[in-house]
């Protein structure tokens, strides 16, 4: 039995019985990473000596802490004090933050062992982890395919047993979509549930940090640790944190689930469609009542998102100008020239495209027709969900219309890439929580994800549905071929 | 609307990004296709709707005006490409 393949809750049991030590877990992960990551490229910062020292140091710490000795990988856009944090962008190369993000402080207080940083699309701009300055991550289920994005490194590392668990961030699907394409669990909490302090901002009204894990119970465990009000983030909610791991293990008899007809679009993979039908049947067997509903403004979500998110990004990324941190172009003539050359050389194509698009949406003469209009349509999308949640406890959809696509397939065509987020974007615009869990495999043995959306601050409800479905199925127990070939 | 090279050049200047001629060429085409797509919002009548810039009910968050611990200056300056004393250093911006 490889410890690297186990869940957080299983490892906690073994640690509590003193059958294993934190060092044993870390050694297992290190050997898994050594064997596989040269092919997968999920991890962008990782120091074996530091990890071994942390694992040994854990022996001196309070064993009663909820994550004592549990390793966690961190997406490269979350600040970890004195460790490289680059958003996988050339413009932040060499940056080592002078402080920890609040989620990092909470993980450390809970006894977790920080393992390093995972690969991502540059500044989280992408759906395939191909825009990283460290090169693309590959999908552990098929190395010719992308892992999804932007938290592709986090999802691939958990899938390939290079990580027990990881944190990602989700602005338009960046936790749920890669979790779906890599066959793992990914949870985007309600906007305001988790502090964004120390998350390098992409779109401040949409970003949330959340866990990527091997099963639903692990997602509940991590969510409980990282959630809650933080005075450093004035948009974090002053609400109590529920005891998620203990609230999810109740049946779902009589729970009402809406299935929006707008999510069964042309171009959807037939295997995905069939698996959704099977999933609905399974949920009904478990006592849920599934009914077709309508979210009439769904088709506008991608347009709204690529105006709102890019507008916010163009503003947030103004700080990368070669003055306070990161890369500076040397030899420019004037200060303005230095800014332009630093940003011209430092940002990749997708970052430049989005900054320019966002600048357009906010610029004089276009603001009302684009940015303001998008914010108004956002109101319609939010109302669609409010109406649905008046009658239904949750909404289910496929997480993505297709399984993982091939490397290079969409990278030259930004609009096609943007449309791959079509099912996940609305939840960010409305601020509601969403989870993706494995719900089957295509004929080519590629994982497919089920997305469950819920009412604001009711993560326990979507986790409960997810846990019940998971207990009744075997999908989450499948492991990519690369894991088997190597352990033999 | 169609977006032309002059507009992209103007926006890139506003955003303080230097583009090569090649970038200018293909960004113009790509941004044009993206704008064509987002123009589907024009079919909606949004005149009487309130914009949603933020999903939560937000109020101003106040705190007492008290001195709190902050990062030491040397920590803050540690990542700077260039510095002098307690300051970030850039090229001269005021002509003498």
DSSP code string of B48-69 = TPPP-S-SS-------------
Range of the domain at B26: 5-43
Residue with tokens 């997810």: A466
pLDDT of residue A284: 98
Report pTM. 0.97
**pLDDT value at residue A486:** 55
Distance from CA of A372 to the nearest CA of B (A): 7
A111 touching B (Cβ < 8 Å): no
CB spacing of A205 vs B40 below 8 angstroms = no
- Range 13-72 of B in CB contact (< 8 A) with A: 13-20, 23, 27, 30-31, 33-35, 37-42, 44, 46, 49-56, 58, 61, 63, 71
Number of domains in chain B: 1
Averaged pLDDT for residues A397-408: 97
Q: What is the pLDDT of residue A218?
A: 98
Cβ contact, residue pair B71, A98, below 8 Å = yes
Provide the pLDDT confidence category of residue B93 given band limits of 50, 70 and 90.
confident
Share of chain A above pLDDT 70, in %: 99
Provide the pLDDT confidence category of residue B59 given band limits of 50, 70 and 90: confident
| pLDDT score of A488 | 41
- pLDDT tens-digit series, residues A254-278: 999 999 999 988 889 999 999 999 9
Higher model confidence: residue A455 or residue B91? A455
pLDDT for residue B92: 85
- For β-strands A185-188 and A208-213, DSSP reports them as antiparallel
**Nearest-by-Cβ selection for A414 from B30, B50, B91:** B30
C-alpha dihedral, A407 to A408 to A413 to A418, nearest 10°: 20
For each of the domains in chain A, give its residue range(s) and CATH number, in order of start: 3-250+457-487 (3.90.1300.10)
Write the DSSP symbol of residue B43: G
CB of A22 within 8 A of CB of A60?
A: no
Q: Do A234 and B61 touch (CB under 8 A)?
A: yes
Whether chain A has a CB inside 8 Å of the CB on B2: the answer is: no
Q: What is the ipTM of this complex?
A: 0.95
Alpha-carbon separation of residue A428 from A464, A466, B65 (angstroms) = 21, 19, 34
CB atoms within 10 A of CB A479: 18
Burial class (CB in 10 A: 0-12, 13-18, 19+), A473: middle
pLDDT digits (tens, 9 = 90+) for A274-307: 999 999 999 999 999 999 999 999 999 999 999 9
Round the average pLDDT of chain A to a whole number and report it. Answer: 97
Percentage above 90 pLDDT, chain A? 96
Q: What local confidence, expressed as pLDDT, does residue B63 receive?
A: 84
Answer yes or no: do A324 and B49 touch at CB < 8 A. no
B70 part of a folded domain: no
Parallel/antiparallel/unpaired status of strands A165-170 and A71-75: parallel
> Are the beta carbons of A475 and A440 closer than 8 angstroms?
yes
Mutate to test the interface with B, among A99, A330, A360 (most CBs of B within 10 A): A360
Query: Is the pLDDT assigned to residue B83 strictly greater than 60?
Result: yes
Contact A306 B31 (CB under 8 A): no
Q: Does A205 touch chain B (CB under 8 A)?
A: yes
Cβ A227 vs Cβ A236: under 8 Å: no
What are the tens digits of pLDDT across the range A20-53? 999 999 999 999 999 999 999 999 999 999 999 9
Is a pLDDT exceeding 80 seen at residue B87?
Answer: yes
Q: In a mutagenesis test of the A interface, which of B78, B81, B86, B88 is the best target, namely the one with the most A β-carbons within 10 Å?
A: B81
Provide CB contacts within 8 A for A135, sequence distance 6+.
A41
Q: Which residues of A touch B35 (CB under 8 A)?
A: 360
B77 pLDDT band, cuts 50/70/90, is very high
Q: B84: helix, coil or strand?
A: strand
Exposed, middle or buried: residue B67 (CB in 10 Å: 0-12, 13-18, 19+)?
Answer: exposed
Q: What is the CATH number for B19?
A: 1.10.20
Q: Does residue B83 belong to any structural domain of this protein?
A: no
Residues in chain A within 8 Å Cβ distance of B27: 352-353, 356
Does the distance separating the beta carbons of A415 and B34 come in below 8 Å?
yes
**B52 located within any domain:** no
What gap in Å lies between CA A172 and CA A18, rounded to an integer? 41
**Tens-place pLDDT, residues A416-472:** 999 989 999 999 999 999 999 999 999 999 999 999 999 999 999 999 999 999 999
């Amino acid at each position: 039995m490889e410890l690297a393949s186990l869940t957080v809750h299983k490892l906690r049991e073994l640690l509590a019985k003193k059958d294993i030590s934190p060092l044993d877990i870390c050694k297992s992960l290190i050997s898994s990473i050594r064997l596989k990551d040269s092919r997968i490229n999920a991890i962008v910062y990782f120091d074996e000596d530091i990890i071994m020292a942390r694992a040994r140091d854990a022996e001196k710490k309070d064993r009663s802490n909820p994550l004592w000795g549990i390793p966690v990988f961190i997406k490269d856009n979350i600040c970890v004090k004195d460790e490289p944090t680059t958003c996988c962008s050339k413009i932040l190369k060499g940056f080592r933050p002078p402080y920890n993000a609040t989620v990092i402080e909470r993980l450390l207080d809970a006894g977790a062992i920080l393992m390093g940083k995972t690969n991502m699309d540059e500044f989280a701009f992408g759906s395939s982890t191909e825009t990283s300055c460290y090169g693309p991550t590959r999908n552990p289920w098929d190395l010719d395919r992308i892992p999804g994005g932007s938290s592709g490194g986090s999802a691939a590392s958990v899938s390939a047993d290079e990580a027990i668990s990881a944190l990602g961030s989700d602005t338009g699907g960046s936790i749920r979509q890669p979790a779906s394409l890599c066959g793992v669990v990914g949870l985007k909490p309600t906007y305001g549930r988790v502090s964004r302090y120390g998350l390098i901002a992409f779109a401040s009204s949409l970003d949330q940090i959340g866990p990527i894990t091997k099963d639903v119970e692990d997602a509940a465990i991590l969510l409980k640790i990282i959630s809650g009000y933080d005075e450093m983030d004035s948009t974090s909610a002053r609400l109590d944190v529920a005891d998620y791991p203990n609230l999810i293990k109740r049946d779902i008899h009589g729970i009402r689930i809406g299935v929006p007809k707008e999510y069964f679009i042309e171009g959807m993979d037939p295997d995905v469609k069939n698996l959704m039908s099977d999933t609905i049947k399974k949920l009904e067997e478990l006592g849920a009542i599934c009914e077709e509903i309508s979210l009439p403004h769904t088709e506008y979500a991608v347009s709204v998102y690529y105006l709102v998110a890019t507008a916010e990004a163009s503003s947030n990324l103004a700080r990368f100008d070669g003055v306070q941190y990161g890369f500076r172009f040397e030899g420019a003539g004037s200060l303005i020239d230095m800014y332009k050359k630093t940003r011209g050389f430092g940002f990749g194509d997708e970052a430049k495209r989005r900054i320019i698009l966002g600048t357009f949406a906010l610029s004089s003469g276009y603001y009302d027709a684009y940015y303001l209009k998008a914010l108004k349509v956002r109101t319609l999308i939010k109302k669609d969900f409010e109406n649905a949640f008046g009658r239904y406890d949750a909404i289910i959809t496929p997480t993505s219309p297709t399984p993982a696509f091939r490397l290079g397939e969409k990278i030259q065509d930004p609009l096609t890439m943007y449309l791959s987020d079509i099912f996940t974007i609305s939840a960010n615009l409305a601020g509601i929580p969403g989870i993706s869990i494995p719900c089957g495999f295509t004929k080519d043995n590629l994982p497919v994800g089920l997305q469950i959306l819920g009412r604001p601050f009711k993560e326990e409800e979507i986790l409960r549905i997810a846990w019940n479905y998971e207990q009744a199925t075997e999908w989450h127990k499948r492991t990519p071929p690369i894991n088997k070939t190597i352990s033999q | 609307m169609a977006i032309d090279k002059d507009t992209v050049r103007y926006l890139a200047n506003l955003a303080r990004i230097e583009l090569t001629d090649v970038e200018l060429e293909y960004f113009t085409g790509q941004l044009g296709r993206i704008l064509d797509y987002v123009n589907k919002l024009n079919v909606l009548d949004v005149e009487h709707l309130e914009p949603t810039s933020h999903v939560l009910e937000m109020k101003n968050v106040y705190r007492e005006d008290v001195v709190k611990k902050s990062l030491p200056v040397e920590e803050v300056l540690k990542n700077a490409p260039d510095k002098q004393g307690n300051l970030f250093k850039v090229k001269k911006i005021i002509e003498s």
